[in-house]
Structure formats: C-alpha cells, structure tokens
Amino acid sequence: MSQVRVRFAPSPTGPLHIGGVRTALYNFLFAKQNDGKIILRIEDTDQSRFVQGTENYIVESLKWCGINFDESVNEGGGFGPYRQSERKEIYLKYAQSLIDSGHAYYAFDTTEDLEHMRERMKKAGVPSPQYNSITRSNMKNSTSLSKDEVQSRIDNNEKYVVRIKMPRNEEVRIHDLIRGWVVVNTNNMDDKVIYKSDGMPTYHLANVVDDYLMKISHVIRGEEWLPSAPLHVLLYKYLGWEEKMPEFAHLPLILKPEGNGKLSKRDGDRLGFPVFPIEWENPENDEISSGYRESGYTPEAFINMLAFLGWNPGTSKEIFSMDELINEFSLKMVGKSGAKFDFDKTRWYNQQYLRAKKNDMLAEELQVILKAQNINVENSFVAKVCNELKERATFVSDMWEEGKYFFASPKEYDKKTLRKKWKDNIPEILLDLKERLGRIDDFKSEKIEQDFKEVLLKNNIGMGQLLPAFRLALTGIAMGPSLFNIAEIIGKEETIQRIDKALINIK
Ligand code: GLU
C-alpha cells in the first residue's frame, strides 16, 4: 500500500458533534496504525453557513481528545493551504476543465426559473423534480443555449453556476470498505452544482480536488456522505484521476438512545447529557451548550466510549487506551448499522478511568475544586482522601460532594440516623471510645478498629449499634468509606475533637 494519508474535513458551520469527533478518531487510529498521516482540512466554501469561532472550537476539541494532526491550518504541511477558502483559485481550473471536456456546463437559471421548472414537473406528475438530463434542455444553460448566447451572457457578467452533466442510465459502482459494493444508476442522480456564482466551488468539487491534490488514500467519513459518493466517483473519472481515487469507508450513524434516528443536540437537552466534546457558546445568541470536558469527563474515557460507538474488538475487552486502540482498531470490525448512544455506558467509562487513576493525579484535580472553596491542604492528604473516595465516584467533583467532611467537621448530623441510632447509651460509650483512642500513639486504622471492637465487647453491643453513631460524629452522614480509615486520615486530634463536638451538639 502506498502511504496512508487520511483527512478529517469538517465545515465550520457549528460546533463539532460527537459523531464528528468519532469520524476524526477513526481517521486518526487508521492513520497511526498504518504509519500514515492525518490531515485537518477546513471545508469553508459555503460562506452562508459559516459560524464564527467554530474552527478554533474544532481544533481545541480534538486537542483535548488527544487527536493530533500531521498537517493542518496550524501545523502547516506540504499540501496547503488547508482552508478551502484560501484555495479558491485552484478549483476554478478544474471546473473549467470539466466544462472543456463536456462533463460540466454553465447554467444561468435564476431562482424563479428553478421554481417554475419544479412546479411544471410536479404538475406533470413528477414528485421530486430534478435538474437532470430530462429537464436540462428546457433550462437556461450552455447545453440548451447557442454558443454565442452563452458567451454574451458571460461577457455581460450574468451570474452563472457550473453544473455536472450527469449521463443517462449509467451504473456507478463504489467500493466501500465497510459496506462492500454500492451501485447507483445515474438516472437517480441530478446535475449537481459544482461551482457557484460567488466564485466558490461547492463541497463536491472542492472535496474531490483536494483529496486528489492532497494525495488522500482513504476517505473515512459519516454515512450521510454515502449518497454523494457516486458523484465523487464520476468526478474522479471525468478529471482523469480514476487510478488515484481513494478508498471509501462510510461510518454508521450514531443513533438516539432509543435507536430511532440520528443523535442530535435536542436528544442531549431532552435526556440531560452533552453531545459536544467541549462547551460551546453560540456567538449568535450566547446560548451555552454543555461539553464532556466541562462535565468532568476525562478525555481517555470519552475517547474509549466513542471508539465503541460503531466498532468493537470482537472480544469482551472494553477498556482501551489510545495506543491500544491504535493497535487493535480495524475498519473491518466497524458495523454497517447505526450505533445507539448509551449515556450510562459513558458514565461507566468515566468511572473506570477515575478508579484506575493514581491517587496523586486525582488529588491534583480535586485540589482545583478545593482551592476554589478556599481550602488549602497538602497534596499527600488529598491523595489519601481520593484513595478512599474514588471507588464510589464517577467524577472528581463527586469526591468533593461525598467527602466534604475530610476537610471540615460536620455542621449538622443526618436526622434519620440520629433518630434511629443515637440511643441513650451512646454518649457514654462514645466517651469511652474517645478515651481509648486518645491513648493510641500510632493512630492507624487497624488499631482504631481494634479499640472500637473492644468497646463493643465491653458493652456487649454489636457493630450496628455503635458504628453509625461514630460515623455521624466524624462525618455527619450515614454512609461512606471505612470509618477507621477516615479517622486515621483526619488524625487523632481531629477525631477526638469531633467526638467531643458531637457529644455537645447532639442532645
Ligand atoms: N465537509 C464535510 C463535512 O462537513 C466533509 C465530508 C467528507 O469527509 O467528505 O462533514
């Protein structure tokens, strides 16, 4: 195989949806696995749909995901420019050569002309009229008008577009690495505009020209582009580039959790999860859409989850680092049918990654929240807290919510537990426990537990009669990690002070 070169080619028309990130990811994995190159190309030829800020958003999102490009607007490279609006002059030449070879033509029709044609055809019983080999001859274009008329319209600066001249009744065969052979008859295709009156190419021409000039070997993109592929194949043929045509792989859609239809921003709003990698602030109305990054997901978990939306390794292994994905990803194992988005699974992934993280790394992340609360504590202390709390957390912020008592003594005590477990004999027993704990030199969990058990024996009571009250005194709440570990972490002095405080405050 010649050098693998793939591209991710988003249009800056809005924030990158997770489906787009998955396309970028599969391209990245495929490139890295084949010692190839991945290119970021910005497809901004449709200026009417341009949204300010999207290009930066795309770059920042993919950087957060760990998807880095070998060639791009920022990195440069030998095949630039990588923004299509800066390649404007290049496309004109190819549109011209298609006209010269008779595969494309000028069309001067106004919006009204097009509207009339559609109405006429509908009256004649055609449900979805098209500009094609049948209607073309009744329209204002260089296949129906005389050469002189065409020339005089051009000389008079009349607006025109260039359309592809779709042949009649020809079969176009496309080989797709995921779907196999796809065959489409040109009778079902229209004379698409390839060059617009504003001097810009349309997506189809620009995409094909750039894939060719940038020596793209594989086009890996979403299924929504499959209907455009036959036109692209014809463009390769008409431009004489058939030999250099890339391989195609159209990825299955990411579906709504219920499975009916494509996952949209509305589904996220409706069910309460982000559909964008990072937060997006719409410059048009300042509306903010949540992102995975800001919601507390680690990029590793996000990427692992995304990789599985459409692909699976064929084994039961679910946790994959980026390097493992690079090794094991295969287009052959990408399914044809849509992949249902599963938000619980996304949370599950984050949980797995959080648990696997080293305590001191987690501590650094938790410190950000602590600092914002004006809590200044040593990292080694926070790391111990993380060790206790990470099993029960999905996000770093959960460790703060669950474990506030590590950083301050409780201000109130859970009422239900008080009612059920703070019996009349408790103060006396806790006092006894406190005195024993006060005599421990090396204040460690095992020793604390040992003393605690001796108190149980002496008073002839069970664990369930004393532990909840002891927990209330130290944490104020009914549940949490090992209480003996908590006591060790907060230390002897603090443990004793908290028991005293509870004895005073709980009547
Ligand atoms: N610009 C297209 C998009 O926005 C790219 C499609 C393709 O990869 O060919 O998705």
- Tell me what pLDDT residue 255 has: 96
**207 Cα nearest atom in ligand 1:** 9
- Dist. CA 343–CA 375, nearest whole Å: 33
- Candidate from 11, 28, 224 with most ligand 1 atoms within 8 A of CB, to mutate: 11
Residue closest via CA to ligand 1's atom 2 equals 10
Q: Is the predicted pLDDT of residue 271 greater than 80, yes or no?
A: yes
- H-helix or E-strand containing 80? none
Written as six digits, the tokens of 448 are: 């604390």
Cis peptide before 129 (omega within 30 of 0): no
Cβ of 27 less than 6 Å from ligand 1? no
Cβ of 230 less than 6 Å from ligand 1? no
Residue 507 pLDDT grade (very low, low, confident, very high; cuts 50, 70, 90): confident
9 CA to centre of ligand 1 in angstroms? 5
Which of 59, 31, 37 shows the shortest CA–CA distance to 278? 59
Is the model's pTM score more than 0.85?
A: yes
18 CA to centre of ligand 1 in angstroms? 14
Cβ of 225 less than 6 Å from ligand 1? yes
110 CA to centre of ligand 1 in angstroms? 28
Give the angle 117-123-125 at the CA atoms, nearest 5°: 105
- Tell me what pLDDT residue 289 has: 95
Residues 6+ apart with CB under 8 A from 75: 40, 69
Cβ of 221 less than 6 Å from ligand 1? yes
Q: Is the predicted pLDDT of residue 461 greater than 80, yes or no?
A: yes
Burial 416-432 (b: 16+ CB within 10 A, else e): ebbeebbeeebbebbee
One DSSP character per residue, 416-485 reads: HHHHHH--TTHHHHHHHHHHHHHT-SS--HHHHHHHHHHHHHHHT--HHHHHHHHHHHHHSSS--S-HHH
Quick check: 54 and 13 in contact, CB under 8 A?
yes
265 catalytic residue (yes or no): yes
- Tell me what pLDDT residue 497 has: 98
Which of 473, 466, 477 shows the shortest CA–CA distance to 505? 473
* Rounded mean pLDDT, 287-311: 97
Residue 2 pLDDT grade (very low, low, confident, very high; cuts 50, 70, 90): confident
Q: Write the pLDDT tens digit of every residue in 400-448.
A: 999 999 999 999 999 999 999 999 999 999 999 999 999 999 999 999 9
**11 Cα nearest atom in ligand 1:** 4
Of the candidates 88, 262, 265, 444, the residue annotated as catalytic is 265
Please give the mean pLDDT across all residues of the chain: 96
- Tell me what pLDDT residue 1 has: 62
- Dist. CA 126–CA 436, nearest whole Å: 92
Question: What domains can be seen in the chain, in order of their start residue?
Answer: 1-72+252-356 (3.40.50.620), 89-195 (3.90.800.10), 357-404 (1.10.8), 415-505 (1.10.10.350)
**7 Cα nearest atom in ligand 1:** 8
Rg (the chain; Cα; Å): 33
Cβ of 10 less than 6 Å from ligand 1? yes
- Dist. CA 206–CA 183, nearest whole Å: 23
N- to C-terminal Cα separation, the chain: 80
330 CA to centre of ligand 1 in angstroms? 21
142 CA to centre of ligand 1 in angstroms? 30
Written as six digits, the tokens of 85 are: 């609006």
* Rounded mean pLDDT, 344-358: 97
